Structure 1
Amino acid sequence: MYTRVFVYGSLRQYQSNHGLMETAVYRGTCQLPGFAMYDLGPYPAALRQETADVVVHGEVYDVDAKTFRELDMLEGLGEEYCRERVLTPYGEAWIYLYLQPLGRSPLIPEGDWVVWAEQQNR
């Protein structure tokens, strides 16, 4: 049995936490409209923003139960992030959305963490 997830930050290919996805099955990339992304420093935060003309770029994976539990732990489920179902071209998937105040975290206008991180020399 698998669970489908949409990842947009440090879990994407070539990013710092992608190693957690070693047993995951990659489905492909997509953009989700109605979400905005913010720079928290070492990783991004996504928030639902239905009224804004924004998108979040990411990757869709099928993960096993062990990996899904590890992702919940990494994301601080219930404290730092919550999970919400979204529709992707690959079917429904879970996305992790940020729960904490953003403070002065800058908006990532293009909604693509990988491109943003490269521009910031991270």
Structure 2
Amino acid sequence: MAARACGRLGLVLGLGILGCASSPPSSFYTLSPLPAAQGRASLADGAIGIGLGPVTFPVFLDRPQIVTRDPANRLALDEFHRWGGTLQDDFLRVWSENLSHLVGTSRIVIFPSEVRYPLDFRVTC
């Protein structure tokens, strides 16, 4: 009987110690625009208006975990490496900032949104 009680106590202590084990820390990521030092196009500000979006990502990317694909085309979700925001919102923000620097205009609107100036181009994907 005492051996059985010691076995149970050992099991409870072992489970308690396992419960105190820590998991790896989570890391959060966002997309970053090109550095502003890479230059700005020479067009006058406001020379053209560009509309961006909507953008549709595959369903398997619509999650907080970062998804990668291995050479065998299997998807891997990383529980400890996550997006700090939504991938779609980050993509649109960075796309508009990069385009603004590269084309030389601040007249970029992300759809859906109210357009307050004429658009010369609209890009979707």
Higher strand residue share: 1
Larger helix proportion of the pair: 2
Greater relative contact order, per chain length (Cα 8 Å cut-off, separation 6+): 2
User: What TM-score do you get using the length of structure 2 for normalisation?
Assistant: 0.19
What TM-score do the two structures reach when normalised by structure 1?
A: 0.19
